[in-house]
Amino acid sequence: MATRSETAEANDADDDDGFVPFLGSFFPESLALSVLLALLALVVTIPYLAPLDQLELFSTGFYELFALQMALILYWVLSATVVEAPPVGALFDRIAGLIPTGQTAIVYATGAVALAFGWVNWALGLLGGVFIGRRLCRRAREEGVAVHYPSVLTAGLLSLVVANQGPSSPGALLMADAEMAEMTGFLADSAGAVGMAEFALAPANLVPSLVLIATLPLLLVVLAPDDEADRRELGTDPLLEGDIASTLDHYVMPTRSEYTAADFLEQSRLISMVAVVIGVGSAGIHFATGGSLTLLWLLFCLMILGLLVHVRPMAFRSKTTGATRWANHVAIPFMLYGIVFALLSGAGLYDAIGDAVASGAVGPFLASLGLGLLIPDPASVWLIVGPAMVAGEVELLTSLVAVMYGAGLSNLWLGFLFLGILSVRGFDPREFLRYAAAVTAYVSVVVLASVALL
C-alpha cells in the first residue's frame, strides 16, 4: 500500500506536466545572471571599499533585506495560488467562450484580456492571457480556422508590460509601506511618500496603461501574417485537453474512509470560511479607517482570497506548494540582489549613478529596462535603482512609474531572448525579435510621451 509520502511524490510528478513548469521555461537562468551582477558590483566598488569591507558586505549584505525578500517570495507564490484555482479557471473559460475564432479577434482579445488582467495582478494577466489564448487556438483548430500561434502567445505575454503599474505593483507597494522602506534604509526619508492610489491613478501612469490595453494588441494583429499559409498553428498539446478550470484543479481529496482526525480539520470548509470572514473583517476595518494598501496587506488579502477560492485548507496548502515554482527562479538570486545593493550603498556610489541616469523619465526607464534583463523581479529592480533615482533628485512618482514600465518591458524581453520560448511550437527567433522590438518601441513612445506631457 502506498504511503502518504509516496502519494505526494506521485502527485508532484504529475504536476510536472502542468502549466507552471511549462511557462517556467520562459525565464532565463536567474542565478547565473545574479552572480554576474554581484561580481560586477564587487569589481566596481574595489576603489571605494577596503577588501575586508567588501568581503563583509558580500557575505552578509543580504541579511538586512531578508524579511523584505521573504515577503516578495510570498508575493509571487500567493498571487499564483489565487489564480490557479477552479473558479478563476471557470472565469477564463467563460471569457474564452465569448470570443469568436478568427485570427484578428483571437490575437486582439487575448492581448487585451492579458493587459487588463495584468494591470490588476501579474499572475491573473499572465495565466489568463496565455491560457485563454491557448484555449482559443484549440477551438480554432477544431473549427478548421488557421491562427498564427506565435502571435497569440505573444499577446498573452503582453500582460508583463503593465503588470507593475496597477494596485499590486511591487515597487509601488514598497514605497507605500513605511516599515518596508525603512527596513531597507535607502528610502527612509521618502517612505510612504507614494501611496498605491496616488501611484495607480496618476495620469502619467494610468493614461499610458489604458492606451496600451486598447492599442497594443492591435500592433500584434498588424504584425501577424495575413496569408493563412504562413500561419503556424498549435500542434497537439495535452495541456489544452479539457477546459481551463479542470486544468487548474490539481488537488484530489482523500477518500472519506481514509480520514484521520487531522484530515477532518484540513478538509473543513467551515474553518476556511471562518478564516475568510475574520480576514475580510480585518481588511475592511483597516481600509475603512484610512489604512493604506501595502505589500504586507496585499499578502494578507491574497491569503484570504486563496482560502476562499480553494475552499478547503488542505487544497490551499497544496496549491501553495505548487505555486512555489514561480519563485524558484528568484529565491536564491534575491540574496545576491541584496549584496549588490549593500555594496553600492556602502561604496557611496548611488549619488554618482543618480547623476548619470536620473534625467527626467528617460534615464530611469532605460536604466530599469537594461537592469531588468539581469533581474526578472521588478521589486528588486526598484530596490537597486531606486536609491539612484532619489539621489539624482528625480521626482519620486515619475521615477517610480518609469522604472516599473522599464522592468515590465524587460520581463517581456526575458521571455523572448532566453530559452524555451524560441523552441516552442517552431518559433523563429527572428520573428520574436521583430515582435519584441516593435512592442518595445511602441511602449517606449507611449510611456515617455505620457510621462513628459502629464
Q: Where are the domains of the chain?
A: 29-236+324-453
Identify the pLDDT of residue 210.
Answer: 95
Residue entry with cell 541584496 = 338
Helix axes 203-223, 103-120, angle to 10 degrees: 160
- Going by pLDDT thresholds of 50, 70 and 90, the confidence category of residue 230 is low
Give the residue-averaged pLDDT of 27-45.
81
Identify the pLDDT of residue 206.
Answer: 94
SS3 call for 16: coil
Helix (H) or strand (E) holding 154: helix 149-157
8 A C-beta contact, residue 155 and residue 114 = yes
Which residue from 43, 44, 42 is spatially nearest to 57, judged by alpha carbons? 42
How many other C-beta atoms can be found within 10 angstroms of the C-beta atom of residue 229? 6
DSSP state of 292: P
Give the length of the chain: 454
User: Rounded mean pLDDT of the chain?
Assistant: 81
DSSP state of 46: T
Which residue from 16, 39, 78 is spatially nearest to 279, judged by alpha carbons? 78
Give dist(CA 8, CA 2) in Å, integer: 10
Express each pLDDT in 367-393 by its tens digit.
Answer: 899 898 888 889 889 888 888 877 776
Give the global pTM.
0.84
